[in-house]
Amino acid sequence: MSDFFWNIRGFNKKTKHPVVRDWIRRGLFQFGCILETRVKEAKASRIVESVFGDWSFLSNYENNRLGRIWIVWSPKVRVTPCFKSSQVITCAILLDGMTEEIFCSFVYAANTVEQRRELWQDLKDHQDSPMIKNKPWLIFGDFNEILEDDEHSGNEEMSYTGLREFQHVANYCSLMDMSYQGPKLTWSNKRDNDLICKKLDRTLMNDSWIQSFPQAYCVFEAGGCSDHLRCRIVIKEGMAKIRKPFKFINAAVEFPEFLPLIQEFWASTEPLFNSTSAMHRLDKKLKLLKPLLRKLSKDHIGDIVKKTKEAWGILCDRQNTTMLNPTQENMREESIAYDRWNFLSILEEKILSQKAKVHWLGIGDGNNKHFHRAAKVREVRNAIREIHREDGTIAVTQEEIKEEAVRHFSRFLSHKPEDFVGIAENELKQLLDFECDENDMRLLDKEVSAEEI
């Protein structure tokens, strides 16, 4: 399942129609939007039918005479409009094969800071709405504002008012960029002199979207006939099950079984001694130790979030029991339940902070929600979703991506240029002033005796 958006910068020119039509056909999209069409309402239906065929069409001509936002969708999709303004249209969308609706806000922000404040307020009102709150929500389009300092190529002094207001809205609504591929900057002023590029187009998502669609990603690519890059969004449900590499959990050193396990394993394996193979032997011992540490972590840390919640529930039950029947036995059971919950809660915080790689918050103040969100966002953003092969095809499954990565780096690391001739012995002598005498050469070639070892 996929959708798209593109600031086409005028859609009256017929030369742009086949470009969009071909992209829609090849992309197998289910819905999307075209921005800044500059098409008058009387001509809109004819152009939509020409480019999108039997797709349905929704716009905001009642809010702007040039219909700044066109939303189109295939017959397989159900779209229910929820909100309209001159800068955003929000719809509830039910995709083919899905049972739950998602919310999408199609954005084409105004050019001035003052006008964009209306958009920011609309998005904050969306966040506070019971209809959208805690539901998967995607906001994408041309925001006409950057979100970070490094999303601007120009050297002139920037105005930070609009940037800060955009950041405030993103924080208020708990929005973050979807994992994307392609260039970071998405718009260019196309000037030969004083060239400026910015990231004005983006796809934002809320926490509920990450939980529901952790594999979703978007791709920015050149379309040729606009000063904006176009974007396709790939929506995938569920998380791909892949075998993760071994990673040592720092909190494992606090388990009472940790040191006895290491000592017993070290004593039962071949001891290390100074030799040319010492590093190789150490590497083998550590590899043999991995399954034991993996099992130890699984026994104590597996489903740590679930275990912590269960321990908290048991603690609450024990507290209620103590209040209803205040006896020493009930108080003792409550104390045991509290110690277990406290241990698991601290352990959960340490594990999540390591996964999130967030170090600036002090341990002990219960930042579990923050760490869990940061770890999830980092996992989603760092994943590789697709790779373009040399022949133009795209590898999308985990196995295809692995095969292409191995093929590329095997070829890259073993490549030998046709004009490679190596280096001659006399050239090496010119580079190196020192040369071993004959006695040193014989000693280097001599076999090492047992006495020397």
What residues have CB less than 8 Å from 356, skipping those under 6 apart? 370, 371, 372, 374, 375, 378
Taking the C-alpha atoms of residue 395 and residue 425, their distance in angstroms, rounded to an integer, is 46
Contact 142, 200 (CB under 8 A): yes
- CA–chain centroid gap for 369, Å, is 18
Whether pTM exceeds 0.85: no
pLDDT in tens, the chain (453 residues): 789 999 999 999 999 999 999 999 988 899 999 999 999 999 999 999 999 999 999 999 999 888 899 999 999 999 999 999 999 999 999 998 888 899 999 999 999 999 999 999 999 999 999 999 889 999 999 999 999 988 988 766 677 899 999 999 999 998 999 988 899 999 998 888 888 899 999 999 998 898 888 888 999 999 989 999 999 999 887 655 566 677 777 778 878 888 888 888 888 888 877 777 778 888 888 888 888 888 888 887 777 778 888 888 999 998 988 888 888 898 999 999 998 888 888 878 777 777 665 554 454 445 555 555 666 666 667 777 788 888 888 888 888 888 888 988 888 888 888 888 778 878 888 888 788 888 888 888 888 887 776
- Please list the residues that pair with 70 across neighbouring strands: 34, 59
Residues in the chain: 453
* Positive or negative torsion for Cα 345, 351, 352, 358: positive
Contact 404, 387 (CB under 8 A): yes
Which domains occur in the chain, in start order? 2-234 (3.60.10.10), 251-382 (no CATH), 399-453 (no CATH)
Instruction: Report which of 355, 260, 348 is spatially closest to residue 304, judged by C-alpha positions.
Output: 348
Taking the C-alpha atoms of residue 33 and residue 203, their distance in angstroms, rounded to an integer, is 13
> Rounded to the nearest 5°, which phi and psi values hold at 390?
-65, -30
Instruction: Report which of 203, 56, 84 is spatially closest to residue 136, judged by C-alpha positions.
Output: 203
Taking the C-alpha atoms of residue 15 and residue 18, their distance in angstroms, rounded to an integer, is 7
